[in-house]
Amino acid sequence: MLLELQRIDFGFHQEAPILQGFDMQVAAGEFVALLGPSGCGKSTLLNLAAGLLLPLAGAVRFNGAYLHGINRNVGYMTQGDTLLPWNTVAKNILLPLELRGTPLQERMDSLERALKLVNLTQARDKYPSELSGGMKRRALLARSLIYGPPMLLMDEPFGALDAQLRETMHQELLTTVNRLQESVLFVTHDISESILLADRVLVLGGRPLRVLEETRIPWGKERRLDEIRKTGEYAALESHVRELLRIADAEQHAAARA
């Protein structure tokens, strides 16, 4: 198992605990979506996996080793545009390797692979202000993957995109991570996004946070999203997950009033 959260307790001072005895696993090569209401604790799970937060009790294990600080074996992509405006696409993508002190030739070789992977070779010398929304997302994805992390953490990375561009990025993301055999832990509150992209969806709710249901997605790795959307199986699965999310929302509102 690549990522394991084992009996995790977590919370902030003088607030109700966010997690109590929480367990979660992600296997190598698996795409897991965390679906739940805004503010329920999904991003907390990502930050625990990244080592940006440490549990009050329990343990986080990554690739068999206990995590006690920053996890340098994951890439982290958020919803925000964190490209440096004064740097070109190439320099933005190279930043993690420069911070790690990677030798120059190795950096250049990795850059060429990353640019080709996300179809940005022709845009390498452009600045962020010259890029479309989709090109910015691809540059951020390349920067998250350039040092070869076995897992990608994604916190609503396409939330700011319009619907048509989001659909394009969904297929591009799947193509990229499947080519690299990458594991993904993906936070979203979008039902369609979760069941189109993931191998497994964890519907989360309550306080302390718990898994209301684990849903395994039947499409397989080589899926065509435009075809899946037309099927009755997709419609039924979306309806089922929507009801689970309705329950999660109701529980969260009840907990806030308590």
pLDDT of the residue at 112: 95
Cα angle 155-122-104, degrees, rounded to a multiple of 5: 75
- Whole-Å CA distances, 123 to 70, 107, 114, 141: 32, 18, 12, 14
Give all domains of the chain, ordered by start, each with its CATH number.
Answer: 3-73+149-257 (3.40.50.300)
Structure tokens at 3: 């990522």
Non-local (6+) Cβ contacts of 233 within 8 A are 218
Give the start-end residues of each E strand in the chain: 3-10, 19-26, 31-35, 57-62, 65-66, 74-78, 151-155, 183-188, 200-205, 210-216
What's residue 253's pLDDT? Answer: 66
Give the pLDDT confidence score for residue 39 in this predicted structure.
83
- pLDDT value, residue 146: 94
pLDDT at 180: 92
Mean pLDDT in order along the chain per 10 residues (258 residues): 96 84 97 91 95 96 95 93 95 94 94 94 96 93 94 92 88 92 94 95 91 93 92 94 84 66
Q: How far is CA 128 from CA 151, 255, 257, in A?
A: 26, 42, 44
End-to-end CA distance of the chain: give it in Å, rounded.
Answer: 37
**Closest Cα partner for 198 from 29, 1, 5?**
29
> From the CA atom positions of the chain, what is the Rg in Å?
19
